[in-house]
């Protein structure tokens, strides 16, 4: 499943709830609700960074006055979740009998998607 968008500020691990856009020809920074899609020249911000943003000297800040809330899950999120559940429910492929395996080769102890768990050498 797709992870939620994170705040664009360096080192901030919080979930983004607002989008910052600079309107250069009007010297204005606009902070509004989180945009539906991440755009190249916008910045996603968490609640504290959206509320405390300051603009460069001589610039104006236009800020959304309502609540900043995380976006609801999209249908893409729900489809990804359903596909992950289906993948986990698929039966594992049959394993070859133990006597056919080379004792010098490591044996796989599990499989998850494209990853395999290999036990350490004893």
Q: Are 36 and 30 in contact (CB under 8 A)?
A: no
Tokens of 71: 């976006």
- Listed by start position, the domains of the chain span 1-88
Q: How far apart are alpha carbons 35 and 95 in whole angstroms?
A: 48
H helices, E strands: number in the chain: 2, 6
Sole residue written with tokens 């539906």: 36
Q: d(Cα 33, Cα 27) in Å, to the nearest integer?
A: 20
This prediction has a pTM of 0.55
At 15-66, the pLDDT tens digits run 999 999 999 999 999 999 988 888 888 999 999 999 999 988 999 999 887 7
Distance CA 53, CA 17 (A): 14
């Amino acid at each position: 499943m797709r992870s939620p968008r994170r705040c664009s500020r360096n080192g901030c691990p919080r979930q983004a709830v607002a989008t910052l856009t600079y309107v250069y020809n009007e010297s204005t920074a606009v902070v509004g609700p989180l945009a539906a899609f991440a755009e190249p020249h916008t910045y996603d911000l968490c609640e504290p960074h959206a509320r405390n943003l300051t603009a460069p000297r001589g610039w104006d800040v236009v800020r959304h006055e309502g609540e900043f809330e995380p976006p609801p899950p999209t249908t893409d999120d729900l489809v990804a979740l359903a596909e992950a559940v289906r993948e986990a429910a698929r039966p594992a492929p049959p394993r070859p009998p133990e006597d056919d395996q080379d004792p010098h080769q490591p044996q796989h102890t599990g499989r998850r998607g494209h990853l395999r768990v290999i036990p350490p050498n004893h």
